[in-house]
Amino acid sequence: MGKIKVKDFNLTHTLDCGQIFRINRVNDWYFVNAQDNFFKIKQIRNEIEFHGVDKEFVVHFFSLNENLPKILKEINKDKYIEKSIDKYRGLRLIKQDPWECLISFICSSASNIPRIKSKLKALSECFGKKITLDGVCNYTFPPPGKINDYGKIMDAKTGFRARYILEANNTIDTKHLNSLRTQPYNLAKNELKKINGVGDKVADCVLLFSLGFNQAFPVDTWIKKTVQLLYFDNNNVSNDRIREFGLDYFGAHAGYAQQYLFMYSRNDLNKGSSLLMA
DNA sequence: AGACAGGGGAGTG
DNA sequence: CACTCCCCTGTC
């Protein structure tokens, strides 16, 4: 176990914004599965406590070494995003395993968070290894090569994504995925898009959530609606233009802006406290 | 009951 | 670009 003091960190916002899906909350504790790790973590004010992984893992996983106040200052371009930053301050990008991240977001297409969670849980239970923490049982995420039975992948309710998952399982080399970290953004993205089932949105999620490309600005339907409303006078704009806008307007940490806008649009935009009423 | 869309993507024209 | 289909499931 371990405890560390944290600054500018909010565990709940960080785990609740759809970056990772294998999480269970039990009272104050979050039980988190990430690749081969299974740990629990809770936050009380400016302190986090964790069991099952070491301090070094926690600091890296939650990007606690990134200067969040500086990043938020950089992306705080107007009163709209400022409102979101005020509400969700402490949300940080998570550094995931690229393979698990890739499969997670292939599963996300035309789906929603509860259903993505159910697919990943089923895949882990079927192809992963059992792992326990404090008497609680769970499963590791199966590496490439292990998700090798089409029928069982279908049984995980993955639907039309099953063939993408099987093909990725048979062809992806984790060393190749990791090598993309040092490539320029566009090159790394084009490499990812060669994988069937991976388009612009999924590629940007993998770049942002696992490969350290903070400028990636994934455009999903929520972000599209929100950006159109706030910055394009609610006119219909192509996903390409939304993404270009995001990068140009918010800069090197556009991905952080995307997460803060996403949280606000998903949780608050339709509840009477619209960003436009700022 | 039946249509519809949900944090997309591929294939076609 | 604009369209259609893909599996499935909750929702209206």
In terms of domains, do A118 and A50 share one?
no
In a domain, A248, yes or no: no
CATH number of the domain bearing residue A47: 3.30.310.260
| Count of domains observed in chain A | 2
In a domain, A170, yes or no: yes
The angle, 0 to 180 degrees and rounded to 10, between the axes of the packed helices A239-250 and A254-267 is 120
**Residue A74, amino acid:** E
Chain A residues 220-259 within 7 Å (CB) of strand C? 238, 240
In terms of domains, do A202 and A104 share one?
yes
Which nucleotides of chain C does any protein CB come within 7 A of? 1-2, 6-9
Asked if residue A111 keeps its beta carbon closer than 7 A to nucleic acid strand B, the reply is: yes
Domain that holds residue A14: 2-66
The angle, 0 to 180 degrees and rounded to 10, between the axes of the packed helices A98-107 and A200-210 is 150
Euclidean distance between CA atoms A148 and A208, whole angstroms = 27
State pTM to two decimals. 0.95
Residue linked to tokens 């608050």? A268
Per-residue pLDDT of chain A (278 residues; tens, 9 = 90+): 899 999 999 999 999 999 999 999 999 999 999 999 999 999 999 999 999 999 999 999 999 999 999 999 999 999 999 999 999 999 999 999 999 999 999 999 989 888 899 999 999 999 999 999 999 999 999 999 999 999 999 999 999 999 999 999 999 999 999 999 999 999 999 999 999 999 999 999 999 999 999 999 999 988 988 999 899 988 888 889 999 999 999 999 999 999 999 988 877 765 544 555 54
Asked if residue A108 keeps its beta carbon closer than 7 A to nucleic acid strand B, the reply is: yes
Q: How far is the CA of A159 from the C1' of C5 (A)?
A: 13
Residue where one domain finishes, among candidates A210, A237, A258: A210
CATH number of the domain bearing residue A139: 1.10.340.30
